[in-house]
A = this chain, B = another copy of it.
Amino acid sequence: MKIKTIMCNTSQTFYDENVGVRLALATEEVELLVVNIKHGPESMESAYDEAMGAPSIIEQVVLAESEGCDAVLIDCSVDPVLRAAREISNLPVISAGEASHHAAMMLCSRFSVITVLPVSAKLIYENIHKYGYADRLASVRSANVPVLDLNNEEVATKAIYAEAIKAIDEDGAEAIVLGCTGMMAMRDKLEGMLGVPVIEPYSVGVQYAAAMVRLKLKQSKLAYEKPSDKKFI
């Protein structure tokens, strides 16, 4: 099968630094098409960034069908334009953020998300309320490290760790969800330091997208009706 994963930013540096760790998840069964978007913000950290990159994310979602893909993964923890993607696509659409929360819910009672910036934390917090399982959320905390600074792994790991420990000790979290797919390389180290499950959204997203293909499942058109044809200027 072929899964298209869409980085929701326009930074070529981010792409170059993160494409390798993504492609390393490909197997004989699962081909990965790793792309980024052509127009929009150089990093996806806020609802404003989401709005500005929205048409370009949708463009990549729509293209996936003609590219022979079997599923689409929104490669971002803030789940940008997820509902729109599910409406317009005939393929199963999974998003890294949502998938990571579901995985957390099978591993603990209450989880915390550690994300990049305060503005990202507010958006993820709102998403979890929108999805309807906020009772399982201990907290969403920000490490105060912008996406494009995550490549300074030592500093970033330390900042994420500091918030994760507070999430566990003060907020009651029993597992930690990384709140940005740019944190992928740090998962193993953080799990070792924290001693609780650390859930990395991109890798969970790939697993869940592949599972949907194997299970022949995709989003219900009663929930995500195809938008009617109309003029766009």
- Which A residues have a C-beta under 8 Å from some C-beta of B? 10-11, 29, 38-43, 45-52, 54-55, 57-58, 81, 83-84, 87-88, 92, 94, 98-99, 102-103, 105-110, 117-119, 122-123, 125-127, 129-136, 146, 168, 174-175, 196-197, 199-200, 203-204, 207-208, 211-212, 214-215, 217-228, 230-233
Give chain B nearest CB distance to A91 CB in angstroms. Answer: 13
User: So how many copies of this chain end up in the complex?
Assistant: 6
Q: How many Å lie between the Cα of A41 and that of B58 in the bound state? A: 14
Q: A51-B57, A132-B136, A211-B211 are in contact. Are A122 and B225 (CB under 8 A)?
A: yes
Give chain B nearest CB distance to A103 CB in angstroms. Answer: 7
Give chain B nearest CB distance to A192 CB in angstroms. Answer: 11
Flag if B102 contacts A126 (CB, 8 Å). no
* Set of chain B residues within 8 Å of A132, measured between Cβ atoms: 129, 133, 135-136
A-B contact pairs, 25 of them (CB 8 A): A11-B231, A45-B228, A47-B81, A49-B227, A49-B230, A50-B54, A50-B84, A52-B54, A52-B232, A92-B107, A103-B211, A106-B212, A107-B220, A108-B222, A108-B223, A117-B225, A119-B227, A122-B225, A129-B130, A131-B136, A132-B133, A197-B219, A197-B220, A200-B215, A211-B211
Q: A215-B207, A232-B40 are in contact. Are A220 and B175 (CB under 8 A)?
A: yes
Q: How many Å lie between the Cα of A94 and that of B175 in the bound state? A: 16
Q: How many Å lie between the Cα of A153 and that of B70 in the bound state? A: 31
Q: How many Å lie between the Cα of A211 and that of B131 in the bound state? A: 22
- Name the one of B10, B127, B204, B224 contacting A122, with C-beta atoms under 8 angstroms: B224
Flag if A207 contacts B214 (CB, 8 Å). yes
Give chain B nearest CB distance to A52 CB in angstroms. Answer: 5
Q: A41-B232, A98-B106 are in contact. List 16 more A-B contacts (CB 8 A).
A: A10-B231, A39-B232, A43-B230, A45-B227, A46-B225, A47-B87, A48-B84, A51-B54, A52-B54, A54-B54, A103-B211, A108-B220, A108-B224, A134-B135, A204-B215, A208-B211
